[in-house]
Chain A
Amino acid sequence: MTDLAALPPIAEPRARSQAWWNAVNAWLLLLPAAVLLVAFTHWPILATIRHSLFITKRNGDEVFVGADSYQAMAADPIFWKALVNNFWFAFGTIPTSIALALIMAVWVNRNMRGRGFLRLAYFTPTVLPMIAVANIWLFFYTPDYGALDQLRGLFGLGRWNWLGDPSTVMGCLIVMVIWKEAGFFMIFYLAALQQLSPDLDEAASIEGASRWYTFRRITFPLLMPTTLFVAINAVINSFKLVDHLVIMTKGGPNNASTLLLYYIYEVAFTFQDSSYAATLTVVLLMLLSAIALLKFGYLDRRIHYQ
């Protein structure tokens, strides 16, 4: 460790130098994590914010334009369309997938035959790669020979271009994402349910509480930490969805299924407008930070953690 001979003989400077060494040690221990965080999280965020205030000329020169990109964004109807789409997408997927996850978890948490198989079945959509999922659902939604249209055919109904019609494309995406997310969230609920002591249920039943009453007053409040965790994840996921759109709709028709991150992807890599993409990214970042702040600042304090 420290070289004793190099230390001054008097007591006080020696104590000061030890404190200095402690601080150096502490910073060295923090360094690996700090480097990773700065390199891959903090620096890119700052770079993005800076980049959104400049535009890059063809010859590579950067010109400071201030809030021009933001003004352009405010006037961009596709941005607003993507934002509104994203809101409806989140509104359509999050409550339903969480409710379904909770119902499924409560159901498979009981002792019954084939429980392991059921749990596996619910979890399968999560295990599948996104691209495979998108292709499976592409087949369901294909006009004429897709699974949905064949079903319609049985009832004598005509063909319907599910993904090609602006009125149904968002609904189709929402159903698919619910299918994919509910099983994933169920695992968290299942784990939380298994942490709850069966004594609580029994104590409630001795007091005469019905199963619904017990769920409402005991089980559900005790699952709130999980619900919050799952909800935050669901919100973040709803802003992160890109791959399905690339495979299934490319944001169409007429931007009816464009979501914010997909629009950023399009602006950055199809239109090659990196400074406008940075501007949109800053908006996405602010949205996600607001959600994180809401969680840590407000919701965590209102929830009972064991």
Chain B
Amino acid sequence: MSAIMLSHVSKSWGAMRAVDDISLTADEGSLLVLLGPSGCGKSTTLRLIAGLEEADAGTIAIGGVDVTRLSPADRKISMVFQSYALFPHLSVAENIIFGLRVRRVSRAERDARLRRVADIVGLAHLLDRKPSQLSGGQRQRVALGRAIIAEARVCLMDEPLSNLDAKLRHEMRTEIRALQQRLGMTMVYVTHDQTEAMTMADRVVLMRDGVIEQNGSPEELYNRPATAFTARFIGTPPMNLVRQGDHLIGIRPEHIRIVSGGDHAARVKAVEHLGADSIVLCDIDGQPISVRLDGFSKVQPGVDVRLAWEAGHEHRFDPVSECRLETSARQGRLATSDG
């Protein structure tokens, strides 16, 4: 009873349509990622679900109940803010049990739940500290603890990892995902980092300028991008898009090979060695194209090479609308389905 459903929700500020008629569903117990570049409306969408902003149009339902006009407190949700929003004058323990105090939960139960949550997020030894005495990762855990102690079925996260360093981010990513699955929460997670989306999500909703660009599983977004925008957004490095005549062709870097008898002439501009593989940045008819090669590539910048890829790996897009061109009806439905 904790699925989240948005139908035709809009929100604008003056002439700016921050969220423009979007509909989506987060299944019960699943993790839905709202992904997109900054200013695409993903945070606004999350704040609409939380009730921190009021929708201009459309309905929002949580667990089958229409919550569109309810206050944040009445929606029975928890939320982790990008800034963590910890109360700086309260200890870690008081921060975590803030909501329980508001709801006048008895002291005994408060203590029991605090102990349990402190163990889950690994803060049992830091409960008396103030937030300013904690590291970034520890603050993140306090915010997490405050979100899960309420035992709300729905947890909203607004770029929770963007203030952490790369290593910690990777750790917390796995931890949050494990926690979400262990507690069976429905989670909506906002990020601009496609790696987070790909690794954590059950379902990814890619947004752009207030509208949904594509809604699907991480695999769908990667293997079957509905638009050139999705193609350019997903993957590191993202899909190459090459204009050939009046076609717009997309091809993943790992599907390109450098072979002597290749069909396409290219010149190597630079090589990035990542260890397990190398990214060779080439130039094909004045358009950049990146090639992923296994191991430590010996290709030198400046040399001319020939590239080849299988026709089956090509993604075709309409050069004007940038939409995916499909021949089969089944694939067309997949690309536009939203749930």
Interface, chain A (partner B; CB < 8 A)? 197, 199-200, 202-209, 213, 217-218, 221-222, 304, 306
Contact = CB atoms under 8 A, between A and B. Distances in A.
Interface string B79-115: 1010101011100000000110011000000000000
Interface stretch (B25-33, B56-64, B70-78): B70-78
B93 to A, nearest CB: 14
A298 B88 CA distance: 21
Tell which of B51, B99, B103, B146 has the most Cβ of chain A within 10 Å. B99
B85 A202 contact: yes
Interface in B21-77: 50-52, 71-73, 77
A206 B87 contact: no
A204 B99 CA distance: 8
B83 A206 contact: no
Q: Across chains A and B, which 4 residue pairs bring their CB atoms closest together, nearest first? A: A207-B99, A208-B73, A304-B89, A199-B85
A306 B89 CA distance: 8
Contact of B98 (A197, A199, A207, A304): A207
A202 B99 CA distance: 12
26 contacts: A200-B85, A200-B87, A202-B52, A202-B85, A203-B79, A203-B81, A203-B85, A203-B146, A204-B102, A206-B50, A206-B52, A206-B72, A206-B73, A206-B78, A207-B99, A207-B150, A208-B73, A208-B99, A209-B73, A209-B99, A218-B87, A221-B89, A304-B88, A304-B89, A304-B130, A306-B88
Contact of B88 (A202, A205, A222): A222
Contacts of B98: 204, 207, 209, 217
Given A203-B87, A208-B102, A304-B88, 12 more contacts: A203-B81, A203-B85, A203-B146, A205-B72, A206-B51, A206-B52, A206-B73, A207-B99, A209-B98, A213-B102, A221-B89, A306-B132
Interface in B113-147: 130, 132, 146
Nearest to A205: B72
Nearest to B89: A304
A205 B85 contact: no
Nearest to B97: A207
B102 A206 contact: no
**Residue among B51, B79, B130, B146 with max Cβ neighbours from chain A (10 Å):** B79
B89 A205 contact: no
Contacts of A218: 87
Interface of B: 50-52, 71-73, 77-79, 81, 83, 85, 87-89, 98-99, 102-103, 130, 132, 146, 150
A224 to B, nearest CB: 8
Contacts of A204: 98, 102
B151 to A, nearest CB: 13
Contacts of A306: 88, 132
A304 B150 CA distance: 27
A197 B83 contact: yes
Contact of A197 (B85, B89, B99, B130): B85
Contacts of B71: 205
A202 B77 CA distance: 13
A204 B132 CA distance: 19
A200 B50 CA distance: 15
Contacts of B88: 222, 304, 306
A35 to B, nearest CB: 39
A56 B274 CA distance: 89
A206 B156 CA distance: 11
A140 B87 CA distance: 46
Given A204-B98, A207-B150, A199 B83 contact: yes
A122 to B, nearest CB: 27
A206 B79 contact: yes
A199 B72 contact: no
B73 A199 contact: no
A222 B85 CA distance: 13
Contacts of B79: 202-203, 206
Nearest to A222: B89
A199 B87 contact: no
Contacts of A203: 79, 81, 85, 87, 146
A207 B52 CA distance: 12
Nearest to B99: A207
A205 B81 CA distance: 13
A202 B73 contact: no
A304 B91 CA distance: 11
Contacts of B99: 207-209
A304 B90 CA distance: 9
A299 to B, nearest CB: 15
A210 B130 CA distance: 24
Contacts of B132: 306
A217 B99 CA distance: 12
Contacts of B103: 208
A200 B71 CA distance: 16
Contacts of A206: 50-52, 72-73, 77-79
Nearest to B47: A202
B168 to A, nearest CB: 21
B69 to A, nearest CB: 15
A217 B79 CA distance: 19
A37 to B, nearest CB: 33
A89 to B, nearest CB: 33
A213 B101 CA distance: 10
A218 B90 CA distance: 9
A218 B94 CA distance: 12
B89 A202 contact: no
A196 B72 CA distance: 20
